[in-house]
């Protein structure tokens, strides 16, 4: 009896996605300090990007960083190869959308289709119930009372049982918040995920790394496409999408230039000589006007451009398609509209007061003020204070 009372409970295992960066390294350290049995995993999802100086594959260098941190923490680390799945489910789909003139968000697709479901699956194969990443976001677990029918033997009485609902919230460090890219995660994802640095600022994370002499303490964060990094997007797209010349029209329909394919341009992008064409000068001042992509017609291969400040550059009413909610029922959500929320159309972009309504069977987000750069295919993410409700894809 005494032996049973004093037997230590086994440590809970967690598989940490270690990218080689400072955020995931500190995430692993914090979990270790909290008493978890920590295992590391490096994900190899892309091998085409290379260091321009060394010629070495970028993933090899990042993996070396992850291995060094794992050795320092004395934790085992494995390499998971999801490159085939990443190409098929994220990159190929990205090319398909660009061909249609749509500007997708591969980082969101990567989180939804690769990072979380496949990572959780690999963890479970190894008898590990939790995963963790270095994302700047927070998860809150809340109890919920659920009614269910009992068996016939108990005369079909209604019983109430406790269940849990998982909410996602923005990170403490608003300047680094990554909830925008995570809005498509589901309850299963959140139930098996930890975000150890969600309550920390980036400055604090670097200080922790410096204190523990991590070699990547001051390593710059990755930018660009998930797992691919910073690239010349136009050159990247030209690998599979051939140039196709078309007209650039002004808001009145007059041709003012020529483009080499609408797929290479996104709404809100500034146009000018460096993109291979000239924009007419202001006839009164002789100055080159700042012109932007305001509309795209994929069928006719036409770009409509507008000068800075022109109404065509602004949108206030956004059609929300493919709605995903993290912890609310979609049917009930729509029945309770109109509803005031906050929305974002880009990562750490401004949180804009928004009213959600249904018009002609479509979910409409009406912003309190018109904004620029609203592009079809990008995400609009919805918030209730710090809570991430979910979001959808911007339609036209």
Neighbours of 157 (CB within 10 A): 8
Is residue 17 within 8 A of residue 79, CB to CB? The reply is no
Four-point Cα dihedral 165, 166, 167, 171, nearest 10: 160
Residues marked active site are found at: 110, 226
What value does the CA radius of gyration of the chain take, rounded to a whole number of Å?
Answer: 24
What span, in angstroms and rounded, lies between the C-alpha atoms of 277 and 322?
36
- 360 phi and psi angles, rounded to 5 deg: 50, 45
Which one, of 361, 24, 324, lies nearest residue 194 by Cα?
24
The β-bridge relationship of strands 339-344 and 379-384 is: antiparallel
SS3 of 62, please?
helix
- DSSP letter, residue 91: I
What does each C-alpha distance from 168 to 65, 92, 140, 244, 316 come to in angstroms?
A: 29, 29, 6, 43, 26
What does each C-alpha distance from 28 to 71, 107, 205, 256, 333 come to in angstroms?
A: 12, 22, 12, 55, 37
What span, in angstroms and rounded, lies between the C-alpha atoms of 302 and 262?
7
Which one, of 296, 303, 317, 321, lies nearest residue 371 by Cα?
317
What span, in angstroms and rounded, lies between the C-alpha atoms of 341 and 355?
6
């Amino acid at each position: 009896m005494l032996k049973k009372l004093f037997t230590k409970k086994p440590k809970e295992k967690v598989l940490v996605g270690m990218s080689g960066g400072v955020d995931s390294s500190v995430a692993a350290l914090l979990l270790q300090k909290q008493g978890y049995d920590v295992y590391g995993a490096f994900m190899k999802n892309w091998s085409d990007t290379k260091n321009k100086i060394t010629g070495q594959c970028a993933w090899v260098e990042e993996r070396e960083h992850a291995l060094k941190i794992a050795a320092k923490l004395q934790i085992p680390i494995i390499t998971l190869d999801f490159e085939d799945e990443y190409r098929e489910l994220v990159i190929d789909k990205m090319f398909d959308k660009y061909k249609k003139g749509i500007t997708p968000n591969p980082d969101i697709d990567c989180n939804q289709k690769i990072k979380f479901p496949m990572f959780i699956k690999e963890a479970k194969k190894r008898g590990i119930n939790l995963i963790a990443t270095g994302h700047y976001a927070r998860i809150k677990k809340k109890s919920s009372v659920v009614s269910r029918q009992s068996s016939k033997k108990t005369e079909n009485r209604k019983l109430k049982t406790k269940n849990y609902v998982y909410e996602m919230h923005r990170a403490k460090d608003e300047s680094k918040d990554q909830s925008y890219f995570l809005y498509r995660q589901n309850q299963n994802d959140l139930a098996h995920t930890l975000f150890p640095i969600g309550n920390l600022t980036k400055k604090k994370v670097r200080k922790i790394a410096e204190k523990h002499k991590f070699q990547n303490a001051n390593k710059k964060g990755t930018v660009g496409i998930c797992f691919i990094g910073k690239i010349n997007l136009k050159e990247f797209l030209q690998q599979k999408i051939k140039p196709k010349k078309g007209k650039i029209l002004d808001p009145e329909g007059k041709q003012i230039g020529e483009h080499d394919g609408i797929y290479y341009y996104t709404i809100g992008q500034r146009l000018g000589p460096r993109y291979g064409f000239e924009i007419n000068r202001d006839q009164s001042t002789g100055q080159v006007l700042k012109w932007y992509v305001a509309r795209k017609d994929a069928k006719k291969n036409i770009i409509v451009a507008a000068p800075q400040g022109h109404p065509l550059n602004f949108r206030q009413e956004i059609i929300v398609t493919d709605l995903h909610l993290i912890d609310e029922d979609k049917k009930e959500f729509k029945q309770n509209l109109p509803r005031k929320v906050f929305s974002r159309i880009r990562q750490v972009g401004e949180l804009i007061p928004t009213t959600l309504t249904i018009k002609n069977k479509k979910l409409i987000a009406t912003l309190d003020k018109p904004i620029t750069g609203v592009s079809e295919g990008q995400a609009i993410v919805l918030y209730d204070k710090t809570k991430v409700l979910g979001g959808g894809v911007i339609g036209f």
